[in-house]
A and B are shown apart, each in its own frame.
Chain A
């Protein structure tokens, strides 16, 4: 049996991007998927969650607008069956870009089944045996199951299982104040659920700027989310119509009832059943598959990309690193290192919190001198016009230069605005050049230009 040039395990965003690129490069490619094409991102993660957030935003806007309408009108109420139908339609539409048929037309062999390494250059997929010259593991990550006594299968959902809901929960308890937990807590609240979020740390989003996390907490509280910081869920029990959570805040015990519990405590690399040992691929429990900076595993013929091996678990990172891995495997040029990437990320709450590059605290820890320029969105005309003036733009530049080292943006469309900073950072455009770029007036991204202008402005007298 002739070897494949490349066998890819996992058809999420990373696997799909890798397969399409490898086929374009003329390689004989096989793509193995155990479930549905598109992986977590399309089917249970990014796409449906962002669609849900969008619908929550819509209802929040309707409520805001309702303050301007005639007082006899009704408050907008979400019809969750229609919400769920909209989510499925969006998933279907986005997923259709990646049908097996389209992939086959592009020259990719698609196999459905559970993949397992049986040797250093051999895999089985269902009943088929595939020999490879190179392989790429892109199996992603799965929601980490909770380790809370009494919270057993069936009494909770994760982001992997949440989107099959048909009814809006009346009382939703969210365990975990990371990005996804906050996003979904706010979205469900805006759709009409009563939501309580439990975070066992003093603030949400522990890796983000303090001010950003504080603004997020204020925004969630304003939406009516009940916030329980410094609170751990220590046990759970099922009652006929509810799950009862026992919580602990500095050992003050309390109970909370919910008809749905969403556990959002992180994601674990999906490596179970892959037979990594048989291929000589080393695995780390926290990091996932161990790779070098070129994404090569401990088996020199096998690479990995995306959530299964990297700490930045985002769709855009998965796609980029998968293409990088294919380039490193099949390309003829110099190999690229994933450690050189400029990686932005975003928490899609209202307001959104987007970040790229260094955080201020990281710079101080690494003894890198920086200057930080901050503009509040409340001073930006377009944000005022849109009534989206909560947040800020913070730009960090290297001390004594205008080289941008990082940025945090908190704004209603921070996910769009951060891309301008990414372009500047990736191409070496300094803050002075950014200040000279004419921006549309009025626009929220003008905040970036105004922050950049401060570099050469004299200080106001104190």
Chain B
């Protein structure tokens, strides 16, 4: 318990350090000049509820911070113009920390908006007292959710696009295969104003890939975060859609199997990377080294920088996400704890100030303990805070179980059983 306390508190410290208190925007990373990532804001909002329950801040303080954030997103300009913060209720992926304007010529991002909106809904469920601040939070949460035009994001096709750009319209690729898009679909299906059709969801699930891999029957998705992001908010234990009914599984159990698959893969360690083993694993999206080995020999190792890594199909360049074991605490507590302890014993530098770095590659520069990502990434910290809390008290899951929108989204996606009964 001491370890999880320490790591949860350490992760929350990121939001204290890297939030602009004037508008609630949170930096994508701790690096100088980092813009805000709207997805990190979504995590940060939910973490405020955790902070209140843990006694890290007062309810009033948290409510004020949340309200500042929601007011910023509600009041910021929407529309097709280049200086807008969002369009059709969605938001641009990266925003300037001060002005809130779009930066890096980035896209209007469906998944990052979904992560933001999930956080918004969670605070709408948490701040339920009849005080003006909390009433306003609930109103804004509802309004922000209702403003999102999910149907527009289908771009007249059966399934969702990945995003939209003010200069050239919809990105011409969508979501293929099981991944974090589950969260977008569930939010879109639950919308009272612009609901996705159940058919859009089942059409997407046609691209699912269920197979026996390394001794596990899994709905395959390589990087861990793709399983964990939707389940940071939504309790998918023992509720099943048509696909999972057919497979006699559920998304929660599937995540447990994916953890086992990753452990098995890292124990087999086919590429002989340093550090990999049954107790040190965790392939997900994270920062990694970018140097490229010389020569063209097939045995040469290239490195991918920030990348979604996965097992067993790859990509895998020897980079692990040190936080990825602990965030599986609600699913596979034994693996999460033994893995985290093993990592901290072997590579303590991966968790400076009780806060995990985004990536570590022990195979690169092994004399100095391996390559280590500089600073911290907000997504990792938010996922840590929420996952540990769900494992301990199920707080975030409980909040979203109480959301009529989430319930409607799940039912329209065909989920039955468990807490939905």
Contact = CB atoms under 8 A, between A and B. Distances in A.
A and B: bona fide binding partners: yes
Interface of A: 60, 63-64, 66-67, 190, 201-202, 210-211, 214-215, 218, 221-224, 230, 250-251, 360-361, 364-365, 369, 371-374, 376, 378-379, 387, 389, 392, 394, 454, 457, 459-462
Interface in B205-259: 205-217, 246, 253, 256-257, 259
5 contacts: A67-B297, A211-B313, A214-B314, A215-B314, A372-B211
Contact of B296 (A223, A250, A457): A223
A372 B210 contact: yes
B172 A379 contact: no
A389 B272 CA distance: 13
A183 to B, nearest CB: 17
A30 to B, nearest CB: 49
Contact of A378 (B167, B253, B312): B312
Q: What is the size category of the interface that chain B forms with chain A?
A: 35 or more
A462 B216 contact: yes
Contacts of B205: 364
A459 B297 contact: no
Given A67-B295, A364-B208, A210 B176 contact: yes
B302 interface: yes
Shortest Cβ-Cβ A-B pairs, 7 listed: A460-B215, A378-B270, A251-B168, A372-B211, A202-B173, A462-B257, A211-B313
Contacts of B253: 462
A24 B165 CA distance: 64
A43 B209 CA distance: 40
B212 A374 contact: yes
A389 B270 contact: yes
Interface in B16-41: none
Contacts of B214: 376, 460
A74 to B, nearest CB: 14
Given A210-B176, A374-B212, A64 B270 contact: no
Nearest to B246: A369
Contact of B206 (A222, A364, A387, A462): A364
Interface in B164-209: 165, 167-168, 171-173, 176-177, 205-209
Nearest to A363: B206
Residue among B213, B259, B264, B296 with the most chain A CB within 10 A? B296
A257 to B, nearest CB: 22
Interface of B: 165, 167-168, 171-173, 176-177, 205-217, 246, 253, 256-257, 259-260, 264, 268, 270-271, 295-300, 302, 312-315
B304 to A, nearest CB: 9
Residue among A67, A372, A461, A462 with the most chain B CB within 10 A? A462
Contact of B171 (A222, A250, A373): A250
B211 A459 contact: no
Nearest to A373: B212
Contact of A63 (B210, B271, B296): B296
Contacts of B210: 360, 372
Nearest to B215: A460
Contacts of A222: 296, 298, 300, 302
Contacts of A365: 206
A373 B211 contact: yes
B297 A374 contact: no
A218 B315 contact: yes
A250 B206 contact: no
Contacts of A372: 209-212
Contacts of B270: 376, 378-379, 389
Nearest to A376: B312
Nearest to A212: B313
Given A376-B312, A394-B211, A210 B216 contact: no
A392 B217 CA distance: 16
A415 B299 CA distance: 23
A461 B215 CA distance: 9
A61 to B, nearest CB: 9
A365 B208 CA distance: 11
Nearest to A367: B206
A210 B302 contact: no
Contacts of B215: 457, 459-460
A61 B27 CA distance: 47
Contact of A462 (B260, B297, B299, B300): B260
Contacts of A361: 206-207, 209
Contact of A374 (B168, B213, B296, B300): B213
Nearest to A189: B296
A64 B298 contact: yes
Given A64-B298, A202-B173, A365-B206, A392 B313 contact: yes
Contacts of A221: 302
A413 to B, nearest CB: 15
Given A222-B298, A365-B206, A387-B298, A462 B165 contact: no
B298 A214 contact: no
Nearest to A248: B168
A454 B212 contact: yes
Given A364-B206, A462-B216, 15 more contacts: A64-B297, A66-B297, A210-B176, A215-B314, A221-B302, A250-B171, A361-B206, A372-B211, A372-B212, A376-B213, A376-B214, A378-B270, A387-B299, A459-B215, A459-B217
A378 B168 CA distance: 42
A279 to B, nearest CB: 42
Contacts of B173: 201-202, 230
Contacts of A369: 246
A210 B168 contact: no
A123 to B, nearest CB: 46
A398 to B, nearest CB: 14
A261 to B, nearest CB: 23
A372 B210 CA distance: 7
B172 A60 contact: no
A392 B213 CA distance: 10
A247 B167 CA distance: 16
Given A210-B209, A364-B208, A215 B313 contact: yes
A63 B295 contact: yes
Nearest to B174: A202
Nearest to A360: B209
A363 to B, nearest CB: 10
A19 B264 CA distance: 55
B45 to A, nearest CB: 30
A270 B168 CA distance: 37
A349 to B, nearest CB: 13
Contact of A60 (B206, B298, B312): B298
Contact of A379 (B171, B268, B314): B268
Nearest to B314: A218
A374 B210 CA distance: 10
Contacts of B260: 460-462
Nearest to A369: B246
Nearest to A190: B296
A376 B296 CA distance: 23
B172 A250 contact: yes
Residue among A63, A215, A364 with the most chain B CB within 10 A? A364
A425 B208 CA distance: 24
B257 A63 contact: no
A167 B217 CA distance: 51
Contacts of A201: 173
Nearest to A459: B217
Contacts of A378: 268, 270-271, 312
A453 to B, nearest CB: 11
Contacts of A364: 205-208
Contact of B212 (A230, A371, A387): A371
B165 A250 contact: yes
Contacts of A251: 165, 167-168
Contacts of B315: 214, 218
A251 B105 CA distance: 12
A64 B209 CA distance: 35
